[in-house]
Amino acid sequence: MAPTGQPEVLLVSLGSTAGLRLADEQLCDALRAAGARVELARARPPGPLRTMALTDLAWARAARAATREALRERGERTAVIYSSTTAALMWPLAGAIRFDACSAANRPGRHGLWQRPAERRRLAASPLLLPWSEAALRECPSAAPPGARALVVPVAVEPSGPAPPVRDVAAVTYAANPRKKGFDRVLDAWRRLRADRGPAGAEAAAGADAAAGPDAGADELLVAGTDAGELRRAGIEAPGAEEGVRLLGALPPEQYRALLRRARVFVCAPRREDYGIAQLEALADGCMLVTTPAPGPYVALGPAREADARLVGEDLAAGLRIALEEPPAGYAARAERALAQFTPAAVARVVEQELLPRLLAKPAQLLQ
């Protein structure tokens, strides 16, 4: 447990995506369970801007304002954690930095013109780096190896509830930020799969339907997180009323996870992946993960390959065909074993036994 007197932690959160919000709330809960008093300072979201450089600048200023306001109202904190390198770019006080990826890797060229040098300075000045994965740390300049000035603190995943007796949804994908998520590639693979199915393929699909239940939709891909307007802005042809594809738009988290519990397959083809929370959640809820490899610290690739390496590859349509027509036996059990390091209990041990003691070891350095 944490030392007596309830040490205080300020977590500065951008919360610019559902994944970041989940990660921040989880970390707050784990720190509180370890005995700390935690305040979550949320940055006020800026409006839409034309470039990534301007967007990051607006978020960094919002994070600085949120930090200053929290410190004015509550006084000095024993420890400060900035969630993402963007949140730390204009910090008013030095602190620990937690991140899924760094600007040096995911802001190439003009997109990270000012962020990359600012990030190098912040990473060098931070007393403690908290990457979501070792792969994220390796991408960063001035990074320390785990065990020195860095500690890997994963984002936890667990099943969202009991699975229904019948999985009546063939495939689900999550396509917020559709170009980065590679939704165009998913859609192309899905169309090729359907086109390649002759009478024999239709019979195989019907057999999969019969095994799953009378209401199963072997030939339908459900798309969460985006709509036709966002797809058009991303330069992707929206499927519209196309048979076999249905756009669901943004879903509340509970509804989205309930959909995963009904699905047999989660499919994705990201152009870059900074972690893969959506994929890990799908595995935790019993989906088979069909995915292409991708640049970046794509943590979910490891568990996906352990569950069945045939479903991970550049030929997305082939992986879909295997998963839907010849589902591998024992997949769920292998996926569960591969996710053991991401359980809430495993992450809570890291927070209690390693993170909180390190945060409190040299508090003066955190507030220089």
> Among positive and negative, which fits the CA dihedral 100, 106, 110, 114?
positive
Q: Above 80 in pLDDT, residue 40?
A: yes
Are 130 and 177 in contact, with CB atoms under 8 Å apart?
no
- Per-residue pLDDT tens digits for 60-116: 999 999 999 998 877 666 789 999 999 999 999 999 999 999 998 989 999 999 999
Q: Above 70 in pLDDT, residue 170?
A: yes
**CA 251/CA 246 separation, integer angstroms:** 13
pLDDT of residue 142: 65
Phi and psi of 99, rounded to 5°? Answer: -155, 150
Walk me through the domains of the chain, giving residue ranges and CATH numbers: 8-156+343-366 (3.40.50.2000), 169-341 (3.40.50.2000)
pLDDT band (50, 70, 90) for residue 269: very high
Find the radius of gyration of the CA atoms of the chain: 22
pLDDT band (50, 70, 90) for residue 143: low
- Per-residue pLDDT tens digits for 199-253: 544 455 544 444 444 334 458 999 999 999 999 999 998 887 788 999 999 999 9
pTM: 0.89
Are 168 and 262 in contact, with CB atoms under 8 Å apart?
yes
**CA 81/CA 91 separation, integer angstroms:** 11
Q: Which of 164-168, 210-214, 297-301 has the lowest mean pLDDT?
A: 210-214
